[in-house]
Amino acid sequence: MKLHVRPADLADARDADSIVMLLNSYALEPVGLNGPLSRDVQEQLIPALRALPNALVLLAFADDAAIGIAVCFVGFSTFRARPLLNIHDLAVLPQHRGKGAGRALLQAAEDHARQEGYCRLTLEVLESNSGARALYRRFGFGNSTLSRFLVKPLDA
């Protein structure tokens, strides 16, 4: 298996289909939505990502098959007065986990951030997602100074 990571081309139909497939697979898991993405979200996802100038979508491939994804967004650290890269979603198809795709996606995100002069990588992970937590710690992520990340949904 030849593993490689590259930025997704959001104008390419094959990449777009891969993005939706990978995110839907992730959504089906208990650490995702525990159910599929709605048809509406599946239809709106690529146009919405294309409209965001701060989005970076990375795809991991085993040979020519998409097996993993990292959806990232550029943010800004007011304490460092520099941009940062937030890894919003990182997912690998279950049958390909433990073979280096997650690490390769993290490395590609880090390489991009360093090349652009960003000050750090950030991500969120559920306490119960021990596999992902272990990967992130091995990759060098540590606890934030924030004791808890809170969310207020705006779409009742």
Residues 6+ away with beta carbon under 8 Å from 72: 55, 56, 57, 58, 85, 86, 87, 88, 109, 112
- Per-residue pLDDT tens digits for 27-58: 999 999 999 999 999 999 999 999 999 999 99
Residue 151, pLDDT above cutoff 70: no
Residue 144, pLDDT above cutoff 50: yes
State the pLDDT at residue 147: 45
Counting other chains too, the contacts that 124-128 makes at CB distance below 8 Å and 24 or more residues apart are 124/88, 124/149, 126/31, 128/31
**Separation CA 47–CA 52 (nearest Å):** 9
Domain spans of the chain? 3-139
Instruction: Report which of residues 145 and 112 the model is more confident about.
Output: 112
- Per-residue pLDDT tens digits for 80-136: 999 999 999 999 999 999 999 999 999 999 999 999 999 999 998 888 899 999 999
State the pLDDT at residue 45: 98
| ∠ Cα 73 49 4 (to 5°) | 70
- On whether the CB atoms of residues 42 and 2 are closer than 8 A, the answer is no
State the pLDDT at residue 150: 59
Give me the architecture of the 3-139 domain, per CATH.
3-Layer(aba) Sandwich (3.40)
